[in-house]
Amino acid sequence: MSFLIDGLQYANWSEKIFRQMRAGGVDAVHVTITYHETFRETVLIIEKWNRWFEQHPDVIFQGRTAADVQLARDTGRTAIFFGSQNPSCIEDDIGLVEVMHTLGLRFMQLTYNNQSLLASGCYEDEDTGLTRMGRQVVAEMNRVGLVVDMSHSGERSTFEAIEHSTRPITISHANPASWHAARRNKSDALLRALGKSGGFLGLSAYPHHLKDGGGCTLQSWCEMAALAVDLMGSQNVGIGTDLCQDQPDSIVEWMRVGRWTKAIDYGEGSADNAGFPAMPDWFHDNRDLAAIRAGLRAVGLDEATANGIMGDNWLAFFDKSFGAQDVSKKIRNAAE
Amino acid sequence: MSFLIDGLQYANWSEKIFRQMRAGGVDAVHVTITYHETFRETVLIIEKWNRWFEQHPDVIFQGRTAADVQLARDTGRTAIFFGSQNPSCIEDDIGLVEVMHTLGLRFMQLTYNNQSLLASGCYEDEDTGLTRMGRQVVAEMNRVGLVVDMSHSGERSTFEAIEHSTRPITISHANPASWHAARRNKSDALLRALGKSGGFLGLSAYPHHLKDGGGCTLQSWCEMAALAVDLMGSQNVGIGTDLCQDQPDSIVEWMRVGRWTKAIDYGEGSADNAGFPAMPDWFHDNRDLAAIRAGLRAVGLDEATANGIMGDNWLAFFDKSFGAQDVSKKIRNAAE
């Protein structure tokens, strides 16, 4: 049996959801903890997570290394890995990259839809690629072991991140645009380049990224997974559901609008479909994850490939991504 | 040969000083990183330390556990353990206790001379003991493994911290008042209670804490060490020099005045002796530490006791103090 890892969730966390993770046998989840929040606001959110870890040590704990996924399996719990969908948490301060990594951040998107200090988002009219600070921050993220995530970035910025980063990057939650054309889905050319660089794609189950939206069948989704394997290589694809369970619609508005506009922005939605979209009927919560395996086999993927997508590939990616590159930590790790 | 550990320094850090630590064979130093700085300001100081760790990995690294002292010895480096001399860095937010511990803080004074949100400082007219928040924060510090340091606190507050804390506390840099009467030195009754609780005293070489000030001889200082052993027990005493090497006098003013007054406060100094006092001629920098051993033997302390004071006692204290008490980390440590 492979590991079971979801590479992106942003739920309205509760004990109910943590117990659903256990009921679903989920070994690890990359959770979004912050979008547009400042450093101090992000620390407040980490404090909230610390309380959850303290209150529910029987079901969840904070993951920091790939070995924590095995520990989760061994102790019957789910390892929670922190991620940020925007670089707001590092403000204009490159020193916060290492500080956030020390606090457990393992993924950071360089942009969320808009231009950031680091790169261009996928909703900007012009994508100008990595900024001066963006190149410096990518190098620093490489050094400390914080994964560059380009899910919400523009295509040029993403190509430049692949090129500039000395370690593999990820698109943690998106799908091939050749399966379903959407602003957030990615071109075949980009996915091929990502796979070639050792980078990683987490396949989304968020309706706006799906052919037929919430009506997308498991079979269609798994055919898309097979397409992604063709584009990327069988080791470079996993799951990144983008599950936003139990969130009120005010949250999707915060995700889209933050504090950058006084107007409204619908992102992937629209005025008459402004809230969170209804999920496909085969995926409502963490208890539904394991059943994807049979769907992958049913579309003809072999067992090793299916196991890879279900979690083994993410685990290998975690293993090569979360450790530091700098000399002192190398000395330290060697002696440990 | 014992370990060599200094339980308190606040130097104007530089590569020169780091290399003096190595020349002196110092395995570990508890360094003060913050006094009156807010959380965000303290993080900026941690960022500065991160750069030093990155630039000088051959001589220093950040210590987090007692095992890091052995690692320092094995790799010929000095482990740097962070401490705060005031609780300003946790502001009014108990959640910052765990966050600061995650960032590496291992000691925190509940007060620095003045009343804080947690307890009373040794310069207040009234010592009202631990506050409501103080009791909660001590419990939280116990839970995560952040050592309560009462060096600059009032006597009643210190007795109450000993009583309320479920783990041994420290006075990291002070001396017995029965040897030299000074506001910052501690009564025999307090030191006896501290020793009885398993608590720890780091012996100061800061002139204001010394008989004859900067004229104090090594022999006199070592006789004081023997007195401390009599009061506290041979396992509960170490070195905490309070070395403020290379600091300009503007820094001692910041330590004393912070932002709490528009006037001037001389603390242990006076208008005609406002700056840093001159150190004893036998202790100027880290290269002078090792010679204290012979002084301890010369006043009649046996080898094991001298070794304990030089560093072995601090190491044992680190070992029982820096780990978390909560269930999830226990599960985690057990499986590691």
**What is the per-residue DSSP string for B54-107?**
HH-TTTEEE--STHHHHHHHHHT-EEEEEEESSGGGGTT-THHHHHHHHTTEEE
pLDDT for B147-165, tens place per residue?
Answer: 999 999 999 999 999 999 9
Spell out the alpha helix ranges (H) of chain B. Answer: 15-23, 39-55, 67-75, 95-102, 132-144, 155-164, 188-196, 218-232, 249-257, 292-298, 303-307, 313-321, 327-335
Q: Which long-range contacts (CB under 8 A, 24 or more apart) does B51-56 make?
A: B51/A95, B52/B13, B52/B18, B53/A328, B53/B80, B54/A326, B54/A328, B55/B15, B56/B15, B56/B18
| One-letter amino acid for residue B197 of the chain | S
What distance lies between CA B91 and its chain's CA centroid? 20
Checking if the pLDDT of A332 tops 60, the result is no
| CA–CA separation, A151 and A212 (whole Å) | 21
In sequence order, the β-bridge partners of residue B78 are: B60
Specify the pLDDT at position A336. 47
Whether A74 and B99 lie within 8 Å, measured CB to CB: no
pLDDT for B272-319, tens place per residue?
Answer: 888 899 999 999 999 999 999 999 999 999 999 999 999 999 999 999
Chain B contacts to A (CB-CB under 8 A): 39-40, 43-44, 46-48, 50-51, 53-54, 57-58, 61, 71, 74-75, 77, 93, 95-96, 98-99, 102-104, 326-328, 331-332, 335-336
pLDDT for A154-173, tens place per residue?
Answer: 999 999 999 999 999 999 99
SS3 A61: strand
Chain A contacts to B (CB-CB under 8 A): 39-40, 43-44, 46-48, 50-51, 53-54, 57-58, 61, 71, 74-75, 77, 93, 95-96, 98-99, 102-104, 326-328, 331-332, 335-336
pLDDT for B171-209, tens place per residue?
Answer: 999 999 999 999 999 999 999 999 999 999 999 999 999
- pLDDT-derived band at B331 (thresholds 50, 70, 90) equals low
C-alpha torsion angle, residues A134, A137, A141, A147 (rounded to 10): -20
Rounded to the nearest angstrom, the minimum Cα separation between A152 and chain B is 28
Checking if the pLDDT of A326 tops 90, the result is no
For chain A, which domains are there? 5-335 (3.20.20.140)
Specify the pLDDT at position A328. 47
Whether B99 and A39 lie within 8 Å, measured CB to CB: no
Closest listed residue to residue A245, CA positions, set A290, A214, A284: A284
Q: Are A49 and A33 in contact (CB under 8 A)?
A: yes
- pLDDT-derived band at A80 (thresholds 50, 70, 90) equals very high
Specify the pLDDT at position B167. 98
Q: Are B267 and B255 in contact (CB under 8 A)?
A: yes
- CA distance to A263, B148, B228, B329, per residue, from B317 (Å): 57, 12, 17, 20
Specify the pLDDT at position B85. 98
Specify the pLDDT at position A161. 98
What's the token pair of residue B176?
């017995």
pLDDT for B36-77, tens place per residue?
Answer: 999 999 999 999 999 999 999 999 999 999 999 999 999 999
Spell out the alpha helix ranges (H) of B267-312. Answer: 292-298, 303-307
What percent of chain B stands above pLDDT 70? Answer: 97
Q: Scanning every residue of chain A, which has its alpha carbon at the shortest distance from the alpha carbon of B42?
A: A99
pLDDT for A113-142, tens place per residue?
Answer: 999 999 999 999 999 999 999 999 999 999
Chain B residues whose beta carbon lies within 8 Å of the beta carbon of residue A47: 93, 95-96, 98-99
- CA distance to A124, B182, B219, B290, B315, per residue, from B294 (Å): 70, 27, 10, 8, 20
Specify the pLDDT at position A331. 54
Rounded average pLDDT over A44-48: 98
Specify the pLDDT at position A333. 52
Whether A99 and B54 lie within 8 Å, measured CB to CB: no
Question: How much is the ipTM here?
Answer: 0.92
Checking if the pLDDT of B107 tops 70, the result is yes
What's the token pair of residue B304?
């094991």
Burial class (CB in 10 A: 0-12, 13-18, 19+), A150: buried
Specify the pLDDT at position B328. 47
Sign of CA dihedral B319, B325, B329, B335: positive
- CA distance to A5, A61, A127, B35, B134, per residue, from B94 (Å): 33, 20, 43, 17, 10
At residue A100, what are phi and psi to the nearest 5 degrees? -65, -35
